[in-house]
Amino acid sequence: MPCDRPSVGLSVAVGGSGLEPDAGATGLADVRTGRPLRPGTLLHACSMSKLVAAVAVLRLAELGTVDLHADVERHLNAPLARSDDDPARPVTLAHLLSHQAGFVDPDAAGEPVAPGPAPDVAALVRTGLGTTTGLGTTTGLGTSTGPGTTGPAPVTVPPGEGFAYSDVGYWVVEHVVARATGRPYADVVDDLVLAPLGLTGPAAGPGASTAWAYVDAGAGGRAERVVDDLAAVGHTTSGGVVAGDRAVYRGLAAAGLWATPTALALLLTDLVDSWHGSSDGVLTPTSARTLWSAPGPTSYAALGAFLLRHGTETVVQTHGWGAGFQAVARAHLDRRSVVVAMMCSDPGTDQDGSAVGAVADACTEHG
């Protein structure tokens, strides 16, 4: 029977080497007002933010600011908590970016929190998810350090020995980037990754194609880069709007980026070209190859993304799923083509069973 419920939005961009992305959108950005979703409407990238974080770290490694394989504690103002059986083994950025640093996140590490001031990522790393360490208020999480207190999420497995998806690891990445550069994380990513592609700054022109969930902690954060009411709102599985319109998460590196599919398609295409040897991209060919290779024993875990196989072809995938939003992006390395699909709705199932996954699968199967 016909459904009279308004259709929430789906936005898609496809592209490839030498081609401008072809973008389209359908449905609504806000079911309450009937505002349509446009190809240029910002959506929450959720955990696809992690790929952008990895690219930023590779850029910093090219500049000699950080070392991908050195102990990250050189950049921290307090040691990481350790409960693994090899505490002398260093945690590196390569471990963190590939979810192989040994963190096992508290259940609520990836859950949305109440809007408020930017989180103190240093405090999150140092003391965990207590009531004064992040956005809004939370219940006590992490390792118990006494009645009514919390500690940091510890490294529980020796670094490099196993995969465990970790938002906490990306809090550490964000903290390292800020400490190593002396600048807010979002400003570093804007200047080294997004601005060179025309995705922010004067070259971007009117209408933002990227934004951040909040102003980064520390002096110098760019308030004008915070997502505004022109972005899509998140919708629940029943078609309503999520609390607060747009969920907020701890950590920009883990889940703080908002973007259009076209913006992410441009980034992916640039990385694919560099992977194939172009010297004109954000990353050098060597760094692009490092980005999309597995640094540890988990063969599918690259830096900020995952390596899939389709026949004989390697396909790079990044995906995100948060309150009111879901997304997936793929780069087909042999074909040099990319697809990004984003929706402003929680479909109630993972990407394998949702509309964004169906779009990505169709592009993978049929080119």
Amino acid at 142: G
| Bigger pLDDT: 321 vs 203 | 321
Distance, CA of 216 to CA of 117 (rounded, Å)? 9
- Residue 358, burial from CB neighbour count under 10 angstroms (0-12, 13-18, 19+): middle
Q: Give Cβ neighbours of residue 360 (< 8 Å, ≥ 6 apart).
A: 317, 328, 329, 330, 339, 341, 351
Q: What is the pLDDT of residue 140?
A: 28
Segment 322-332 shows an average pLDDT of 97
Of residues 7, 11, 47, 354, which has the active-site annotation?
47
- DSSP code per residue over 38-54: -TT--EE-GGGHHHHHH
Residue 209 appears among annotated catalytic residues: no
Q: What is the pLDDT of residue 152?
A: 63
Distance, CA of 165 to CA of 81 (rounded, Å)? 18
Distance, CA of 139 to CA of 137 (rounded, Å)? 7
Within 13 A of 200's CA, how many CA atoms are on the CB side? 23
Instruction: Answer whether residue 228 shows pLDDT above 80.
Output: yes
Residue 2: Cβ within 10 Å count: 3
Instruction: Answer whether residue 149 shows pLDDT above 60.
Output: no
Within 13 A of 257's CA, how many CA atoms are on the CB side? 31
Segment 145-160 shows an average pLDDT of 65
Segment 235-253 shows an average pLDDT of 93
Distance, CA of 68 to CA of 92 (rounded, Å)? 6
Most confident of 48-57, 121-130, 212-221, 356-365: 48-57
Which segment of 103-107, 256-260, 292-296 scores lowest on mean pLDDT?
103-107
